[in-house]
Structure 1
Amino acid sequence: MKKIGFLSFGHWTPSPRSQTRSAADALLQSIELAVAAEELGADGAYFRVHHFARQLASPFPLLAAIGARTRRIEIGTAVIDMRYENPLYMAEDAGSADLIAGGRLQLGISRGSPEQVIDGCRYFGYAPAEGESDADMARRHTQVLLDVLRGEGFAKPNPRPMFPNPPGLLRVEPHAEGLRDRLWWGAATDATAEWAARLGMHLQSSTLKIDETGEPFHVQQAAQIRRFRAAWAEAGHTRPARVSVSRSIFALVDDRDRRYFGRSGDGEDQIGFLSETERAIFGRSYAAEPDVLIEQLRADEAIAAADTLLLTVPNQLGVDYNAHVIEAILTHVAPGLGWR
Structure 2
Amino acid sequence: MKKIGFLSFGHWADEQGSLSRTAQDTLLQSIDLAVAAEELGADGAYFRVHHFARQLASPFPLLAAVGARTSRIEIGTAVIDMRYENPLYMAEDAGAADLISRGRLQLGISRGSPEQVIDGWRYFGYEPAEGETDADMARRHAEVFLNVIQGKGFARPNPQPMFPNPPGLLRPEPHSPGLRDRIWWGAASNATAEWAGKLGMNLQSSTLKDDENGKPFHVQQAEQIRLYRAAWAAAGHAHEPRVSVSRSIFALMDDRDRMYFGRGGKESDQIGFIQSTRSIFGRGYAAEPDQLIAELREDEGIAEADTLLLTVPNMLGVDYNTHVIEAILKHVAPALGWR
1:231 aligns with 2:215: no
Q: How does 1:192-231 map to 2 (within 5 A)?
A: 192-231=192-231
Q: Deviations over 1:240-289 (max 9, x none)?
A: 1100000000000111101100012761100111012x010000000000
3-state DSSP of counterpart to 2:114 = coil
Change (3 A) 1:103 1:192: same
Q: How does 1:22-37 map to 2 (within 5 A)?
A: 22-37=22-37
3-state DSSP of counterpart to 2:332 = helix
Query: Percent same amino acid at aligned positions?
Result: 79
- Whichever residue aligns with residue 10 of structure 2, its letter is G
TM-score w.r.t. length of structure 2: 0.99
Unmatched 5+ stretches in structure 2: none
Change (3 A) 1:203 1:28: same
Partner of 1:113: 113
Partner of 1:245: 245
3-state DSSP of counterpart to 2:18 = coil
Counterpart CA distance in 2 for 1:5 and 1:265 is 25
Partner of 1:295: 294
Partner of 2:320: 321
Q: Deviations over 1:278-331 (max 9, x none)?
A: 010000000000000001000000000000000000000000000000000000
Counterpart CA distance in 1 for 2:16 and 2:226 is 45
Counterpart CA distance in 1 for 2:139 and 2:338 is 35
- Whichever residue aligns with residue 211 of structure 2, its letter is D
TM-score w.r.t. length of structure 1: 0.99
Counterpart CA distance in 2 for 1:295 and 1:233 is 33
Counterpart CA distance in 2 for 1:195 and 1:212 is 17
1:164 aligns with 2:182: no
Partner of 2:80: 80
Q: Deviations over 1:84-121 (max 9, x none)?
A: 00000000000000000000000000000011000000
Equivalent pair of 1:251/1:293 in contact (CA under 8 Å): yes
1:93 aligns with 2:79: no
3-state DSSP of counterpart to 1:151 = coil
Partner of 1:272: 272
1:283 aligns with 2:271: no
1:16 offset after TM fit, Å?
2.7
Counterpart CA distance in 1 for 2:114 and 2:203 is 20
3-state DSSP of counterpart to 1:326 = helix
Q: Deviations over 1:50-105 (max 9, x none)?
A: 00000000000000000000000000000000000000000000000000000000
Counterpart CA distance in 1 for 2:198 and 2:5 is 26
- Whichever residue aligns with residue 11 of structure 1, its letter is H
Counterpart CA distance in 1 for 2:130 and 2:144 is 19
1:17 offset after TM fit, Å?
1.6
Equivalent pair of 1:248/1:312 in contact (CA under 8 Å): yes
3-state DSSP of counterpart to 1:212 = coil
Equivalent pair of 1:265/1:288 in contact (CA under 8 Å): no
Which stretches of structure 1, 4 residues or more, deviate above 4 A after TM superposition?
none
